[in-house]
Amino acid sequence: MATTDVRKQPRKRERTVNEATPFDTIAKIAGGACLPRSLHAVADLGVADALDDQPRTPAELAAASGHIRTRWRESCASCLHTESSRWTATRSGTRRHRDSCDPTTRTRLRAFARMLGLELNWNAYIEFGHSLRTGQPATTKTTPRGLWAYFQENPEAGRIFNEAMVSKAQAQVPAVIAAYDFSPFGTIADIGGGRGHLLQALLQADRSARGVLFDLPNVIQDAAAAASDRLKLQAGDFFKDPLPAADAYILMEVIHDWADDESLAIFKAIRRAAKPGAKLLVIEQLIPGDNEPHWSKMLDIHMLTLLGGKQTHRQGVRRTAPPHRVRALPRASDAVRCLNHGSGGRLSGPSTEPCH
């Protein structure tokens, strides 16, 4: 009678108590919309602003924020935690972090969360399958006139979007200024520069330079306060209208909004306007070459769904833009791409050396 050596039989691996089951993984991903929607609601209601240094009960927090709903545990889990039966802020919402910036900046950080929760964004993901099948933005079905027309027609949504872009730009501006020497340029043009925070910071750092902020008319109208004797505002559409002549051009997180054909059209428009020897700096978040979670990878999906654009891998920059140099910023996900405009309107040859 044959016998079996049980020592040679593979043991069935036991799952630990805290280990996720396949159901846990699928449920977290497929049902995960509740978490961001909870955060969006908390931001809309101003719940975190009602917290101070002392923990609050749900009832106290509801009263302080002006809202009477009491199911705080589910909705506020992403930014609050409990001490017994009272709520305090987590690291992402601590008083210390909120006090490290002025009230206007705190409002703009809140706007960034609200922007991601705009009805426009969530409606687009209902048609996400269209983007996967065609490579076209889902908004062609949900918002046929396009994202930018939507913001012009819905001023409140446009305001939240603009404030969110400002809050994000303010975190990036110091890294951009530290990464590149702008002092050789007499005139710097920020194309699609929003309310001009980057350009204002550059002019503050270099008192001899002048700047031109170019964006759509409604954006330029909102940026009126940025105008000065050294900073000119110019409204227009870079696909239709002439761009300003300048010694240096900046495209900060503009190219990722567009597919390759439109991106090349923007580059060509800049080259037509550029002075001999001018430089173009393209600032984008680059997708790292690994399989780890990263905001730029999620942003890539957002760009496809909302605009038909995309984020670029570092090695993919050469296929998107003319010959260039790439320099990493202190944040590994960002990069400055330098495109030299040589004599005779021809771009200089490629280089892997840092921009300088």
Annotated catalytic residues are: 256
* Distances 346 to 267, 268, 355 between C-alpha atoms, Å: 12, 11, 18
DSSP three-state, residue 188: strand
Angle, CA of 209, 214 and 215, to the nearest 5°: 150
What are the structure tokens assigned to 52, written together?
Answer: 């101070």
Pairing, β 334-340 against β 279-287: antiparallel
**To the nearest 10°, the Cα dihedral for 48, 51, 53, 55?**
-110
Provide the token pair at 281.
Answer: 């700096």
CA distance 211 to 157: 28
Across-strand partners of 212?
A: 189, 232
Contacts of 301 (CB under 8 A, 6+ apart): none
What is the end-to-end Cα distance of the chain in Å, rounded?
81
| Phi, psi of 232, deg, nearest 5 | -100, 140
Q: How far apart are CA 68 and CA 62, in angstroms?
A: 5
Residue 334's DSSP bridge partners are 285
User: Is residue 66 exposed (0-12), middle (13-18) or buried (19+ Cβ within 10 Å)?
Assistant: exposed
Phi, psi for residue 341 in degrees, rounded to 5: -100, 100
Three-state DSSP state, 333:
coil
DSSP 53: S
Query: Per the structure block, which two tokens stand in for 208?
Result: 């001899």
| Angle, in degrees to the nearest 10, between helices 295-307 and 119-126 | 80
